[in-house]
Chain A
Amino acid sequence: GAVVSQHPSRVICKSGTSVKIECRSLDFQATTMFWYRQFPKQSLMLMATSNEGSKATYEQGVEKDKFLINHASLTLSTLTVTSAHPEDSSFYICSALAGFTDTQYFGPGTRLTVL
């Protein structure tokens, strides 16, 4: 149980375009999902908390107009990187909070490369 999927696993895009990443909890409902960013050989940095049916809460320094988050259902949250630039290239990982255990389960990540 507690499986989280993420799509796509890899994406390469041109500078200035937008990219949408989906995060799904497959066998449980998640009222809260989290989005992280991880640069090579570094730790996970929380970008935002996504709550079903309400606006996302962004961490300090994260531009909410650049990283759009939508949590439209109890099993799906999306992150859209708008007007992507090479410095946005990173490994983006979502997690879903399994309410029955208060434990976060992570998706497999999306490697974004902006040319």
Chain B
Amino acid sequence: GENVEQHPSTLSVQEGDSAVIKCTYSDSASNYFPWYKQELGKRPQLIIDIRSNVGEKKDQRIAVTLNKTAKHFSLHITETQPEDSAVYFCAASRQAAGNKLTFGGGTRVLVKP
């Protein structure tokens, strides 16, 4: 089955700096890659996603890049703010497998004011 690895597990950045989180996946047939933000005790919230027919996607301060050949994708957050502090999860799925998501281990991001 699919295996998703996520790095780093913790990330501390100064407010205004950029944060980058990287994920690798094992199943070359995976075709959907969402990123979720989860605050303590709350539900995971979708912040951005990318499909395998696209190499990059951007939404304001958040961007995701996908390298299908290398089987890795990354989340980029620019101009970080204290409210960006949370745990971020990457995930991968493929439609043929019922859209089941396999999650990475999570990255705890702390933005220091």
Contacts and interface: CB of A to CB of B under 8 A. Distances in A.
Interface of A: 4, 32, 34, 42-46, 49, 57, 91, 93, 95, 97, 102-109, 111
A44 B103 contact: yes
Interface stretch (B63-71, B77-85, B92-100): B92-100
Given A43-B104, A43-B106, A109-B42, A102 B89 contact: no
Interface of B: 32, 34, 36, 41-46, 49, 89, 95, 98-106
B65 to A, nearest CB: 19
8 contacts: A34-B100, A43-B103, A44-B89, A46-B101, A91-B41, A97-B99, A107-B43, A109-B43
Contacts of B46: 103-105
Contact of B105 (A32, A43, A95): A43
A44 B44 contact: yes
Nearest to B44: A106
Nearest to A51: B98
Contact of B43 (A32, A34, A102, A106): A106
B82 to A, nearest CB: 21
A109 B45 CA distance: 12
B105 A104 contact: no
A106 B89 contact: no
A49 B45 CA distance: 19
Contacts of B43: 4, 93, 106-109
B51 to A, nearest CB: 9
Given A105-B46, A106-B45, A46 B100 contact: yes
Nearest to A46: B100
A102 B32 contact: yes
Contacts of A57: 98
A104 B34 contact: yes
Contacts of A108: 42-43
Contacts of A97: 99
